[in-house]
Amino acid sequence: MTPAQSRTLELLRRTGEPKVFDESFVDELRAEATDAFAEFHQRLGERTLFVTKHTLSKVHGCEAHYLAPDEFEWTPARARGQIAHKAIQLLINWKGEPTPRDLVDDALARIADEERDFGRWVASLSPGDEAELRGAAIERVNKFVETFPPLDKRSNPATEAAAQWPLDDPILLRARVDLVMGRPEGRESRKLIIDLKTGRVGAQHREDLRFYALVETLVRDVPPRKLATFYLDSAAPVVEDVTEPLLRTALRRTLDGIHAIIELENEARPPVKRTGASCRWCPVSADCAEGTAYLRGDDPEFDGDD
């Protein structure tokens, strides 16, 4: 392995005594979530609410942005991560040694055949846009291959691993994890949850992983042992051990987010504006004095860098 791969493997491997969470703690966590959901149902009306890491990130950010109409459009810059993730998924299950270009080309072809908005957008790309997207995705897959430790098949690696809790309810927590390794043994926590990112370290990235850990715990009864955001540009992971306080905090943040969503969407509470990086792509920023000041650099907390 390269030095970067060895360094990452050392940070991710299991060390010390086996990690076992008390069964009563998991029962208490689930009971708290169940009781809170029952109270939320009365306020939710006939709606069904799907809660994801993106939902929580938006509502805990600027509430005005959260309520704004969704004007999302695919671009090669936005789509490169989706294509790279699909290519990495193929890599883990591919026989032989495909090149990153082979993987990305196959990923593009598979997605273009899908009957959904993203698939139709990929299928309609001009040759130039397709080349731009292919190049950006290949660069990401190259970084993963060169810097992430080789995946031992005995560690049960899985990509785009989905989880949902509860089974059937007006409020559903949904998670889809970039990469999961390991599996519980009895009540011993052995699972490692990994998110792949490019760019700068963000506090939000840790919150996303903690939400994944919470959903994993509610679904499987056994929490994961460790969380890691692997930054492809830096060839380095930010690693966090899963603890009882971490899971309790993740549940509180999730319940606070659901409470805010119901207040905003069902009970007409005025939204709270909070400036931040999302102002750069907020559809209402032009008519928002706070967002305009932030983008101008007048906000004292704005440092002029993404």
**CATH number of the domain to which 192 belongs:** 3.90.320
Q: What is the reported pLDDT for 132? A: 94
Q: Are residues 90 and 200 in the same domain?
A: no
| Any domain includes 108 | yes
Q: Is the pLDDT of residue 41 over 80?
A: yes
Q: Are residues 177 and 249 in the same domain?
A: yes
Q: Are residues 63 and 159 in the same domain?
A: yes
Q: What is the reported pLDDT for 75? A: 87
Question: Looking at residues 156-179, what average pLDDT do you find?
Answer: 94
Q: Is the pLDDT of residue 192 over 50?
A: yes
How many domains would you assign to the chain?
2
Q: What is the reported pLDDT for 298? A: 53
Q: Are residues 53 and 160 in the same domain?
A: yes
Per the CB < 8 A criterion, the answer to whether 224 and 255 are in contact is: no
Tell me which of 125, 147, 169 is where a domain ends: 147
Q: Are residues 86 and 232 in the same domain?
A: no
Tell me which of 108, 123, 147 is where a domain ends: 147
Per the CB < 8 A criterion, the answer to whether 184 and 211 are in contact is: no
Strands 226-231, 192-197: pairing is: parallel
| Any domain includes 132 | yes
Q: What is the reported pLDDT for 292? A: 86
| Any domain includes 115 | yes
Tell me which of 147, 176, 207 is where a domain ends: 147
| Any domain includes 136 | yes
Q: What is the reported pLDDT for 84? A: 92
Q: Are residues 67 and 80 in the same domain?
A: no
Q: Are residues 44 and 162 in the same domain?
A: yes
Q: Are residues 81 and 166 in the same domain?
A: no
| Any domain includes 287 | no
Lowest mean pLDDT segment, chosen from 98-112, 171-185, 269-283: 269-283
| Any domain includes 304 | no
Strands 171-181, 49-51: pairing is: parallel
| Any domain includes 164 | yes
Question: Looking at residues 44-62, what average pLDDT do you find?
Answer: 94
Q: What is the reported pLDDT for 1? A: 86
**Residue 109 domain boundaries:** 76-147
3-state secondary structure the chain: CCHHHHHHHHHHCCCCCCEECCHHHHHHHHHHHHHHHHHHHHHHCCCCEEECHHHHHHHCCCHHHHHCCCCCCCCHHHHHHHHHHHHHHHHHHCCCCCCHHHHHHHHHHHHHCCCCHHHHHHHCCCHHHHHHHHHHHHHHHHHHHHHCCCCCHHHCCEEEEEEEECCCCCEEEEEEEEEEECCCECCEECCEEEEEECCCCCHHHHHHHHHHHHHHHHHHCCCCCEEEEEECCCCEEEEEECCHHHHHHHHHHHHHHHHHHHHHHCCCCCCCCCCCHHHHHCCCHHHCHHHHHHHHCCCCCCCCCC
Q: Are residues 188 and 66 in the same domain?
A: yes
Q: Are residues 205 and 133 in the same domain?
A: no
**Could you tell me the pTM of the whole model?**
0.90
Question: Looking at residues 19-39, what average pLDDT do you find?
Answer: 96
Percentage, residues of the chain above pLDDT 90: 69
197-234, pLDDT tens digit by residue? 988 888 899 999 999 999 999 999 999 999 999 999 99
Average per-residue pLDDT for the chain = 91
Which pLDDT band holds residue 105 (cuts at 50, 70, 90)?
A: very high
Which pLDDT band holds residue 252 (cuts at 50, 70, 90)?
A: very high
Q: What is the reported pLDDT for 303? A: 39
Q: What is the reported pLDDT for 296? A: 85
| Any domain includes 303 | no
Q: Are residues 35 and 177 in the same domain?
A: yes
Q: Is the pLDDT of residue 77 over 90?
A: no
Q: Is the pLDDT of residue 96 over 70?
A: yes
Q: Are residues 91 and 129 in the same domain?
A: yes
